[in-house]
Amino acid sequence: MELLGKNYLKVEALSKRFGDVCILSDISFSVAKGEFVCIVGSSGCGKSTLLRSLSGLDTAYEGRITVDDQEVKKPTKHIGYIFQENRLFPWMTVEENVGFSLDSGTREEKRRKVSEAVAMVGLKEAVRQYPKTLSGGMAQRANIARTLVNKPEVLLLDEPFGALDAFTKINLQEKLCEIRSAEKTTMIMVTHDIEEAIYLADRIIILDKNPGVIKKIIKVDLPRPRDRNGNYFNDLRKEIYGYFFETKEIVEDYNI
Ligand SMILES: Nc1ncnc2c1ncn2[C@@H]1O[C@H](COP(=O)(O)OP(=O)(O)OP(=O)(O)O)[C@@H](O)[C@H]1O
Ligand SMILES: [Mg+2]
C-alpha cells in the first residue's frame, strides 16, 4: 500500500508525569495516513498512557499531538479507541452496543451503519445476543464493531487480542487486515505479542521503561499476507526480542 502524508499523525516531544513519576519522556514519532504502527513494550512502560493521549482523553502532558495538522485536544469520532478492557454494556444486545455511539442520522441510516460494522467483523449472526452470551473473541469483535461504526480515520487499539487464544487471535488479526485494506484506516495498536506486531505492522515502535522512551523504531518490510515462518519474519522476531534483553541503549535516530 502506498503511504501518503508521512506526517499525518505527529507526536512531538511528548512527556507525561503522574505526580513525581515521569512515565513517558520526550516521545516523538509520526505516522503516515493508512499506516499500521504497533507499539510494544513491557508492562507498565506507558503504552496505554500514550494511547490515551493520542485519543484526546488525556491532555495533561507536555508536547504536542496532531492529526492532519489539527491538535488533538479532546476525543473525536475521527479517532476510534478500542480500550484494553471490554467496555460493552451488558444490558444491551450486540447491535444496541454497536449503535450506541451513533448520534446522527435517521433510524434507517443508523441501522445500515450498524449492520455494515457488524458485517465487517463477521458478527451478523449474533446481533441480538447479549454480551454475556458471547465468547471472548465475539465480544472483542463486537467491541471493534462499536468503534468502526463511526468510520474513524485513526483507530487506536490497546491490546485488543491480549486475552484471546491463539486461533481466535489469528482470525481477528486477519479481520483487522481486511478492515484496514477496505477502509484505509490509520491504525496504532499496542501489543505484548511480538509476532503479532511483525504480522500486522508497517513499523514497530519499541518502548523502554522507567521512563518510557522510544528505544527503536523498526520498519517491517514484508509483503502481505505475511509468512509467519519466513526467514525474514524469524530474523525480525529475534532482533526485537534482543531489544528487550540487551543493556539499555537509546537509539537516537528514530525520527522520520
Ligand atoms: N491514573 C494514573 N495515576 C497514577 N499512575 C498511573 C495512572 N495510570 C497509569 N499509571 C502508571 O503509569 C505507568 C504506565 O501505565 P500504563 O497503563 O500506561 O502501562 P502499560 O504499558 O499500558 O502497561 P500494561 O502493558 O500492563 O497494560 C504505570 O506505572 C502505572 O502505574
Ligand atoms: Mg496498558
Question: Using a 6 Å cutoff on CB, does residue 45 contact ligand 1?
Answer: yes
Question: Is 178 within the bounds of a domain?
Answer: no
**What CATH number is attached to the domain comprising 207?**
3.40.50.300
Please state the domain count of the chain. Answer: 1
Question: Is 116 within the bounds of a domain?
Answer: no
Mean pLDDT rounded to a whole number for the chain: 91
> How much distance in Å is there from the Cα of 126 to the middle of ligand 1?
34
Write the pLDDT tens digit of every residue in 53-63.
Answer: 999 999 999 99
Question: Is 122 within the bounds of a domain?
Answer: no
Question: Is 190 within the bounds of a domain?
Answer: yes
Question: Using a 6 Å cutoff on CB, does residue 207 contact ligand 1?
Answer: no
Write the pLDDT tens digit of every residue in 59-75.
Answer: 999 999 999 999 999 99
The angle at the Cα of 3, spanning 180 to 194, to the nearest 5 degrees, equals 60
In terms of residue numbers, what domain contains 202? 1-78+155-165+185-221
Ligand 1 atom 16, closest CA: 46
Q: Which residue has the cell 479517532?
A: 79
Question: Is 252 within the bounds of a domain?
Answer: no
Write the pLDDT tens digit of every residue in 216-237.
Answer: 999 999 999 999 999 999 999 9
pLDDT-derived band at 1, boundaries 50, 70, 90: very low
| pTM, rounded to two decimals | 0.92
Distances from the Cα of 170 to the Cα of 4, 67, 150, 197, 222, angstroms: 28, 30, 25, 12, 18
Crossing angle between the packed helical segments 166-183 and 107-120, to the nearest 10 degrees = 130
Question: Using a 6 Å cutoff on CB, does residue 210 contact ligand 1?
Answer: no
Q: How many Å apart are CA 2 and CA 232, to the nearest integer?
A: 21
Q: How many Å apart are CA 101 and CA 150, to the nearest integer?
A: 8
Question: Is 159 within the bounds of a domain?
Answer: yes
**Gyration radius of the chain over CA positions:** 18
